[in-house]
Amino acid sequence: MAVAPHNLVEAHACPMSSCQAPAGSPCRTTSDKVALKYHTARFQLVPSLRSELHIATPAVRHPGSTWKALAVAPAGAPAISMEIRIGYARVSTRGQEIQSQIDALEASGVHRLFQEHISTRVKERPEMKAALAAAREYRSLGAKVTLVVHEMKRLGRGALELLKAAEELRDAGIELEFLTGPLAGKHDPSGHGAALFAFFAAMAESERDYIRDKTLEGQETARRNGTAIGGTKVSDEDMLATALRLRDEENLSLREIASRLVIRTGKKRGQHPSAATVMRMLREHDEQAAAATV
C-alpha cells in the first residue's frame, strides 16, 4: 500500500501567511474552515509531488468543516511503519521492449513505478531523479524504503555512475534490490552490500574497458592490413591542385572553393565536398610542404 499524498503534504507546515497550518494538520481557509485542497506552496515542498497541479484534502480531514489543529506525532516516532518499494524500469531506445521489466517489478510488489526510455550515457535521467526524490521523501517520514530495479545495467553501466547511485542510496538510508543478474537480491548500501555493489560495479567498468580495447585492437589490425578506418577519402591530386589555385590565385573562401570542386569517385560522386573537407585537405598539404622545407 502506497503512502497517501496528504500524509506527505502534512509532514510540512504550510508556509502560506493566510494559512500557517502546522505539520500534521490540513490547510485552512481565511474563514477558518478546512480547505478543500492543500495550498500549492505546501505540497510543492514535497519533491515527489511538485509536478501535481493540486492535491485534494481527503474525506478523513472533513474538508469544509471548522478547522482545528491536529495532534502531531511525538518527535522521533516514525510516521510510516512499513516498507515502501519503489520500482525503476529503463530501456535505452524507444524500440526496445520495457514491458517485461514493468511486469517483473509489479510482481515483486512495488508501490510506485517510474519508467523511461533513455540511455545511461545521458547524465540527467528525469524519472530516475524523481524515483530517488520520492524514495528520500518516504524515508524522511520514517518508512523503510527499497529501490527495486530489474538488473544492474538498468541502474547504470559504468563504475562511476553505479557508485554515485550507491552513495545517494547510502546517504539516504535506502536499500537496493535487483530482481535478476549476479546481484539478485536485496542490498543495504550502508552494510556489506556496499562492498559487493562496488565489486560488481568495477567488473562492469572492466567489461567496458575490455570492449574498448578489443575495438582499438581490431582497428589497428585493419590499418596494418590496409583497410581504411573512418570515412572514405573524397579528395585526390586533381582536386587538391584546383583548390590550391582557387585559394592562392583567386583568394576564394573555403566555402567558395568547395562549391567549385566535384567529387569524382565513391558514394558521393558528383557532389561538392564540404568546406571542412577542403580545409583539412589544404591544411595537410601545407603541413607536408612545411615539413619538406625543414
Strands 112-117 and 83-91: parallel
H helices of the chain, in order, are: 5-9, 40-43, 99-107, 126-140, 152-155, 159-172, 192-224, 237-248, 254-260, 275-292
Return the C-alpha cell found at 80.
510510516
Count of alpha carbons within 13 angstroms of residue 2, beta-carbon side: 14
Judged on CB neighbours under 10 Å (0-12, 13-18, 19+), 189 is buried
CA distance to 66, 190, 205, 225, per residue, from 217 (Å): 77, 40, 18, 12
Residue 117 to residue 3: CA distance in whole angstroms = 26
- Span between the terminal Cα atoms of the chain, in Å: 79
Catalytic residue flag (residue 92):
yes
Which residue out of 92, 108, 259, 274 is catalytically annotated? 92
Give the residue numbers marked as catalytic.
92
